[in-house]
Structure 1
Amino acid sequence: MSEEYRAKIFKSGNSVALRLPKALGLKEGDEVRIVRENRAGFIVEPVDPPKAKIDLTGIAGALPQLKLLTPEDRIMEPREVDWGGKLLPRG
């Protein structure tokens, strides 16, 4: 079942703008994508917000006991690992 809303086009600076009804549930700042379907009309759909990224640059010196690994520290020696009774070679 679809609902029908009416909206009004108005001039905004050198552009035209479309005022959408509050009942659509959009908030100020929400981004929408508009697709022109040939001459049949338009599709207006919400755009998912970008995923937040975590910036860790501000905590680089907060834990002095942590240090960067050197290339030599990254090399793992082959050894046998006990996996619940079975010894499997690692490496």
Structure 2
Amino acid sequence: MKHYTNKDIYERDNFTCQYCGWSGAHDFESWNRGWLAIDYVKPRKHGGTDEHDNLVVACHTCNSVKGSSMCNSVEEGKKIITTKNEQWHKWFTKYVLY
């Protein structure tokens, strides 16, 4: 089994969030604003592994919103993020913009 470094994952994903598409590949400002990290698609607490296909680049926002929600694919992660953002948008509209 090959050991993959964070650098391998960042390069494979072109320094781009696999959930929302935010790219940090072009300049430091974009990379820094995205606060890119390596995310476990299937979180370790749900049996996710360090295998290459379970690790993706994620921006801080997507990584935080997805959290440790159970999912098995990037597509499932995108749905979780979209659903949570819709819920938070409703809350924001009701309690902040009221």
TM-score under structure 1 length normalisation: 0.25
TM-score under structure 2 length normalisation: 0.24
- Higher relative contact order at CA 8 Å, sep ≥6: structure 1 or structure 2? 2
Higher helix share: 2
